[in-house]
Each structure stands twice: as C-alpha cells, then as structure tokens.
C-alpha cells in the first residue's frame, strides 16, 4: 500500500501523491499533498494549500487557505523535546506542552525551512528557503537566514 491515510477529513478535488502518512487531520478542497509527506493529528489545512514533497506538518499547526509549503519544510511543536519523562519512561501526551503555529492565508514557506513552535506567520509573507524561523513573522514581508530576519517588504 503506497498511502497511509487514517481518519482524515479530505476535501473535494484534493490530490494526494504516493508514500504519505496522514492521520487524524483535516484537509480542505483543491489541495495538493506531495510524496513523502507526514501530517499529524490535529492539523487543520484550508483550501488550495500545496504541501510539497518530504514536508512534515506536526500536531498543532494550522495552514490557512492558499498557503504554499515547499519541500522538506519542518514544523516544531515542543520547546524542550525529550524521549523520556522525569520518571525515565517514554513521554506520553500529558508529559509535554504543545506549541501551536498558524500560517496565515497566502503565505509561502520556502523549502527546507524550519519553523519553531508557537509561531504566527503573517498573511502573504514569504519564508526564504533554508531559513530557521524563531520569531513571529509580520504580514507582507520576506524573511531569510538562521535566525530568519526581514530582508524585504512586499507591496
């Protein structure tokens, strides 16, 4: 079986490519989901969103309408990730604090960008390829670098 799709709500005319792992998420209409993409539970994706190959959308991420996600994009939702809890057991759902991120409509995330947890990416903004986003991004700007900084304002 080429696709793992479990308990997802998927809109009309949405195209999903091979070798994906999607579970417990909502995806809107007319979206494109590339190969080797994983989308976790409690992710909400609007209409006409494109998620390119190899990207990882973690729990707690919302992508509004028309958002573009490049290739190899990685979202983060845990500020202090650990394998085990203070008792030395594998961490469970109650052992960590979820950081939610929202990408506003028409924004684009360039390939291989890393988006730390708890971010707001403003409407129509563009994150340069390879950037590491450590702070909220205003609307209508281009940011790039590690850490990402504004390099241009868009009209």
By CB under 8 A, name the binding residues for a second copy.
Answer: 1-2, 4, 17-19, 21, 30, 32, 34-36, 38, 48-50, 53-54, 56, 58, 66-68, 70-72, 74, 76, 80-84, 88-91, 106, 108, 110-112, 114, 116, 126, 129-130, 132, 145-147
Shortest Cβ 65–a second copy spacing (Å): 9
Closest to a second copy by CB, 90 or 98: 90
In the complex, least distance from residue 150 CB atom to a second copy, rounded to whole angstroms: 16
- Do residues 20 and 4 make contact, with C-beta atoms less than 8 angstroms apart? yes
HSE on the CB side for 62, CA within 13 Å?
Answer: 14
Report, in Å, the least distance between residue 128 CB and a second copy: 8
Q: Which is nearer to a second copy, 21 or 26 (CB)?
A: 21
Specify the residue, 34 or 122, whose C-beta has the smaller distance to a second copy.
Answer: 34
In whole angstroms, the minimum distance from the beta carbon of 102 to a second copy comes to: 16
Q: Which is nearer to a second copy, 32 or 138 (CB)?
A: 32
């Amino acid at each position: 079986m080429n696709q793992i799709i479990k308990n997802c709500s998927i809109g009309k005319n949405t195209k999903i490519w091979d070798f994906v792992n999607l579970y417990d998420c909502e995806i809107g209409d007319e979206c494109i989901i590339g190969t080797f993409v994983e989308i976790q539970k409690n992710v909400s994706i609007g209409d006409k969103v494109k998620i390119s190959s190899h990207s990882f959308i973690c729990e707690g991420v919302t992508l509004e309408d028309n958002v573009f996600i490049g290739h190899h994009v990685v979202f983060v939702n845990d500020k202090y990730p650990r394998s085990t809890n203070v008792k030395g057991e594998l961490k469970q759902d109650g052992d960590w604090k979820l950081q939610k991120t929202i990408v506003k409509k028409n924004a684009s995330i360039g390939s291989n960008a890393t988006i730390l947890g708890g971010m707001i990416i403003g409407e129509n903004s563009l994150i340069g390829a390879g950037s590491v986003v450590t702070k909220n991004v205003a609307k209508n700007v281009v940011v790039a670098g590690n850490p990402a900084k504004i390099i241009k304002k868009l009209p």
